[in-house]
Amino acid sequence: MEKTIFHVDVNSAFLSWTAVKELKLGSSLDLRTVPSAIGGDEKVRHGIILAKSLLAKQYGIVTGEPIVSALKKCPSLVIVPPDYNLYSKNSNMLFTFLSYYSDRLKIFSIDECFIDYTGMERLWGNAENVATSIKEKIKKQFGFTVNIGIGPNKLLAKMAGELGHADEINTIYAHEIKEKMWPLPVSKLFMVGKQTTAKLNHLGIFTIGQLATYDNNILEREFKSNGTVIKSHANGVADSYVAPIYHHHIYKSISSETTVPYDVTTKEGAYKVLLALSQNVAQRLRRKKMYANGISISIKTNTFKRYSKQISIKNSTDNTDVIYSTAVELFNIIWKKEPLLLLGLSADRLSENETSQISLDDNTNIKKQRAEQAMDKINNKFGRNTVTRCALLNSQIELTKRISFSKDDSDTSV
């Protein structure tokens, strides 16, 4: 049986969720109908754009650009501060609703997911009809819109979801690849970023169709193993597995990142963000009873340059202080004193068993471990960050959580 996969993606999620909330509170202005954005503080013209309306997009405003730049493009731009608790609430509400239609749902980000609808036709009916029903129910019950892409695997479903306009349903089945996907610019293909696009263009590859039929040897020479991957994607070949909600996942990495609503320009400012990231990742490691054998960090500057660095650690760990000190070490190596708008941290090469060498510091480590376990217990009972480190009090650092899984169990790659 050929798979039927849905990709559900909220249109302008942060802005839409904020607009719905303000309308419910009595506002006469729907942010989605004017040039508007979610970002930092408009009064001091500080911070970056985290999300924007379609009308703001028409002014050339892009996610991640400084507010001062966006206001030059559109002086009347309405800017609203982010509300991460609202986003989390809406995200959970959406995924709970969608899980009613299939027990195989994979969250891909805070505002998008994959649903394996294979075999559910006998219960709910034709896939495209059900997708239409889902889209309309979300609009009526929750007040925001979604795009739904349908395909035989996650890649084609995601590509289908990005066709057309907002509040639409589109398909890319196997027999539609040449017609719907191949004419698209190669930059539209999943896993093809700016640098890869530039290299492909240099080879004379400008469309997905050209990539799909390009010489394998040249692609492997230029892109190593990734050349085979992107050519497979251009031909619509990719993983289609979506694990059941109750599935026992094998974790490969646990990570967290934050796009800060202001430029980080000092080591002290960056260290505070890294501490928040380290605490978050360590708490989740302990909750999953996993240990990290490697740590990696990534940063993005306010000119959108990305840097990353990773390192193996001698003893596997779930300890915040160990993760934090390693992250600081890596940060000091890669930071070039450029203003930063994003920092991320990942605990990698996870294992279920702790490995460590006997040390004179063991007694101290045991005390730290007990202290963190006590903090976890309180936070689990009374809410996240009920107990936190003094350095993070009133920091208002909001984190995006990510998890990757091993390929033989529950791969989240498209």
62-66: Cβ within 8 A, 24+ apart: 64/259, 64/300, 64/304, 64/341, 66/263, 66/302
Of the chain, the end-to-end C-alpha distance in Å amounts to 20
Lowest mean pLDDT among 62-76, 117-131, 206-220, 342-356: 342-356
* Catalytic site includes residue 112: yes
pTM beyond cutoff 0.85: no
b or e along 6-45 (b: 16 or more beta carbons within 10 Å of the residue's beta carbon)? Answer: bbbbbbbbbbbbbbbbeeeeeeeeebbeebbbbbbebeee
Q: What pLDDT was estimated at residue 359? A: 55
Q: Give the domains, in start order, of the chain with CATH numbers.
A: 1-181 (3.30.70.270), 182-234 (1.10.150.20), 251-405 (3.30.1490.100)
For the chain, the average pLDDT equals 87
Region 99-118: mean pLDDT is 93
Options 2, 22, 65, 112, the catalytic residue: 112
Q: What is the pLDDT of residues 295-333, one digit of tens each?
A: 999 999 888 888 999 999 988 999 999 999 999 999 999
Q: What confidence category does residue 262 fall into, taking pLDDT thresholds of 50, 70 and 90?
A: confident
